[in-house]
Structure 1
């Protein structure tokens, strides 16, 4: 097996019968593709694995990514068989797929399977953490002000019940850089602080937080760290062995392009004895922490198997290559948008302070109406309303093309000029 695949080999890899390529030919799944992060032909081959029609420009990865055809077919085939043949033997076989999925997810994040819990999404994972730690009067939790509700409201509501206090570190606009943020969090952490919970990449302005530095700061202070990876898992080349958080959460339905209601929670071995289960039920996991913390009763096991195979899909392309491609598209879109008179960009102009989430305000245009207008012409995005950085959010991913970028920028240019 050579160290790379050309386009013809890549096409053959995915023509082996849905996701069976990964099941029957594990060596192919991990083979590296050519180092052509901007090669149009290569990315056309990737796009062809998805069901999206060519005239649909989907720039909403921060909310929901489509799954490739192989993943959809796998979920459908296993679900159909489970309903056609609900035999105890097949159910036992399906229950066992969690072990392989756990191994693949762990390998993707570069940690041991024993420390990985298979959740339903980031929200569930974050809530397992905020419920599973012994916190009470006299304790403090420090939160980043741009956290998702599952990593913000979950803490503040539980503080009312358990009596600990919450301190908020407000986001700084525009992104001020690593040193300013590390200093702000360092000043917030005190002798009563037990947990620091922040977002790796924000879904608001697309700010990339200095996760490694903040995790190191927490360790130095004896504080537990929770990194919400909803916007980094499947987009960035995340190496948890280097990042070294105490907890890391992620969802498969966003950037990994995996099945809905599948996700991950990583729990560092050094804190596992301090982490209580949130749910007690049947059908726990088979190894490590999953034996005590993953009892959720009946699961959607076809989706869980497809989740593991989707990790192989990403690994077959290469997560570093996926990150580079997504950043390349986002940078091109950022540069095109800032050149439009009347566009106010909320996302940082510095490439090292962002990734592939772009938020901007098109002057004089209602975000909801503009989102509807874009959808009507086949451009999918999200909108933000209210006083906090209102506007439009584009989040391109590796299945997008430069033509998608140009189409979206031209649509914004036209609507800003002509109105709605």
Structure 2
């Protein structure tokens, strides 16, 4: 617990560190547009310099949280410096969002995700968006939501709350480990649908295995049976190119602080059209929540929030767009394929699909008898490499575009060393 002395000490330390922080945040030139064609390694190395992650740190856990690069941090800090002057032009203008429509921030992200601004609500994280769907979707006791057995807690628990309070039935299908193709997933969903199924809620990219589910085909299956389709897209923005209106789903949630490297505290809720909006009640409400003419904007009426976070979001979109999502996705997949192949050569059991269409930038492998948590602690404490996974022996290895092959080889060498040390 903080007392006054420790708080003041922390504040003093922060103020003393500010010149170093300012130095760390100095602008570093982005690579020339044609450098990728001339020297691909130099191009990605130049982008690595945009991140404050020290050179000796390897982050294979972007699946939990990304690191905002210099342009994003500059936009955030400049945003605070500007907004906190309290010199906004209008007498009713204040440096907060959560009451207005803020299309200057919604539209760039909607465009980036293949949506229209009227379909997009910017929220504070994916958990908040998932809670809107689970708590707000119009259902009665005995109605079923169908989900996979690989959903993240922030996707599953809101539905479990709805189950406990109102008797909605949470039904799960088992994801193949690994799925050999899209049909293996679609068949399991189709077989689990009953006359009581009202909504299918699944991850677009599994947080457990990194499998990229066939979202467009799942949405079409749901639509053919009169069922609403909803996706938890926490991992998708910035990892793969997404076109929400092409997918054809009814609802889609996500976060921007992972693979897009935007500000922490940014998430979103996409609603396809009024027919869906009419079935999803607001569960956070202030003035304007009940105005249907505001469309998706009415789900943004969440009270005082932080405008500089949205300025950082715009900068993250600008950076990703300048690189090109096709190029980012190809790089992400290339690195994931490499680390996955190398782990399989070492005898790891793959939970990542052999179908390239079902793989993104997460390679999940099972490595018994290696104990995941013991390896994770050893790697970070002794070698500054971050990994994550699941007990007892699952490793989830995330490969953002700024990693190098040398970073991955360093991890692989240490993994070999750890196994030898443990006699595994």
Fold in common (TM above 0.5): yes
SS across alignment from 1:92: coil
Q: Does 1:336 align with 2:342?
A: yes
Deviation at 1:33, TM superposition (A): 6.2
String of CA shifts for 1:34-55, please: whole Å, max 9, x gaps. Answer: 7759911111121111111222
SS at match of 2:311: helix
Residues 72, 314 of structure 1: alpha-carbon distance in 2 compared, 3 angstrom cutoff? same
Cα distance change on mapping 1:33 and 1:398 into 2, 3 Å: farther
Q: What number of residue pairs does the alignment pair up? A: 391
Q: Which deviates the most, 250-259 or 165-174?
A: 165-174
Q: How many Å apart are 1:370 and its aligned residue?
A: 0.7
Give the structure 2 partner of residue 115 of structure 1.
Answer: 119
Q: What does 1:356-375 align with in structure 2 at a 5 Å threshold?
A: 356-375=361-380
Match of 2:9 in 1: none
Alignment pair present for 1:316 and 2:317? no
Q: Which runs of 5+ in 2 are unaligned?
A: 1-25
Q: Does 1:65 align with 2:62?
A: no
Instruction: Return the alpha-carbon distance in structure 2 between the equivalents of residues 399 and 301 of structure 1.
Output: 28
**1:80 aligns to 2:81 (yes or no):** yes
Greater shift in the superposed pair: 94-103 or 232-241: 94-103
Q: What 5-or-longer segments of structure 1 have no aligned partner? A: 1-16, 22-27
Name the CA distance, whole Å, in 1 between partners of 2:296 and 2:222: 25
1:277 aligns with 2:282: yes
Match of 2:302 in 1: 296
- 2:384 corresponds to: 378
Superposed displacement of residue 101, structure 1: 1.4
Map of 1:241 onto structure 2:
245
Alignment of 1:194-205 (within 5 A): 194-205=198-209
- CA contact under 8 A between 1:346 and 1:359: conserved in structure 2? yes
Report the counterpart of residue 422 of structure 2 in structure 1.
Answer: 419
Q: Deviations over 1:259-279 (max 9, x none)?
A: 001011111014122221111
CA contact (8 A) 2:203 2:213 kept: yes
Alignment of 1:45-194 (within 5 A): 45-83=46-84, 85-87=85-87, 89=89, 92=93, 94=95, 95=97, 98-194=102-198
For 2:293 and 2:143, how far apart are their aligned partners in 1?
Answer: 32
Describe the superposition over 1:190-210 as per-residue Cα deviations: whole angstroms up to 9, x where unpaired. 222110000111111222211
- Compare 390-399 and 350-359 and name the one that shifted more: 350-359
Alpha-carbon distance in 2 for matches of 1:394, 1:123: 23
Q: Secondary structure at the match of 1:40?
A: helix
Whether the aligned pair in 2 keeps the contact of 1:35 and 1:321 (CA below 8 Å) is: no
SS at match of 1:66: coil
SS of residue matched to 1:289: helix
The 3 A distance-change label for structure 1 pair 274 and 294 is same
From 351, 359, 367, the counterpart of 1:346:
351
Match of 1:4?
none
CA distance in 2: counterparts of 1:244 and 1:232, whole angstroms: 16
Is it true that 1:396 corresponds to 2:402 in the alignment?
no
CA separation of 1:255 and 1:33: change in aligned 2, threshold 3 A: farther
What's the C-alpha RMSD, in Å, of the aligned pairs? 2.8
Q: Secondary structure at the match of 2:389?
A: strand
- Tell me the distance in 2 between the aligned counterparts of 1:322 and 1:37: 17
Mean alpha-carbon deviation: is it higher for 244-253 or for 376-385? 376-385
* SS of residue paired to 1:134: coil
Checking the alignment, whether the CA contact within 8 Å between 2:69 and 2:261 is kept in structure 1 is yes
Of 166-175 and 220-229, more deviation after overlay is shown by: 166-175
Q: CA deviation at 1:367?
A: 1.2
Contact kept? 1:248, 1:266, Cα under 8 Å = yes
The separation in 2 between residues aligned to 1:79 and 1:68, in whole angstroms, is: 17
TM-score relative to the length of structure 2: 0.85
For 2:315 and 2:408, locate their aligned partners in 1 and report how far apart those are by CA, in whole Å. 29
TM-score, normalising length from structure 1? Answer: 0.86
Match of 1:6? none
Whole-angstrom CA distance in 2 between matches of 1:195 and 1:171: 18
